[in-house]
Amino acid sequence: MRDTVKPDGALFGDPHETPDGTTVIPVSNPVGVFVIHDGHVKWEAAVDTTRVLLIGAMTGLMAATLGTLAVLRKPPWPDVVIRRTR
């Protein structure tokens, strides 16, 4: 936290104005920015879509692996034994 906070203790960066008149105010932690456009303030969260997709894929892979192991260990169908007596 000490590395990201300015020496004066500010948690917000200097405002930047884009050519279309939008003012962007960066925050010390990379979780998003405040955007001021036409007098309205909006929070834009920084979402790492790669991380979200990776977590979803890993969750699906784990569920498929555990399901496969459960079926191989004890199949859900009954044990069928055919006996012939003479």
Closest CA to 43 of 59, 20, 27: 27
Whether pTM > 0.75 for this model: the answer is no
pLDDT by residue for the chain (86 residues), tens only, comes to 445 555 655 677 788 888 888 888 777 666 777 788 888 888 888 788 898 999 999 999 999 999 999 988 887 778 788 888 87
In terms of DSSP bridges, do strands 40-45 and 16-17 run parallel, antiparallel, or are they unpaired? unpaired
What element of type H or E holds 70? helix 49-73
Q: Which residues, 6 or more positions from 77, have their beta carbon under 8 angstroms from its beta carbon?
A: none
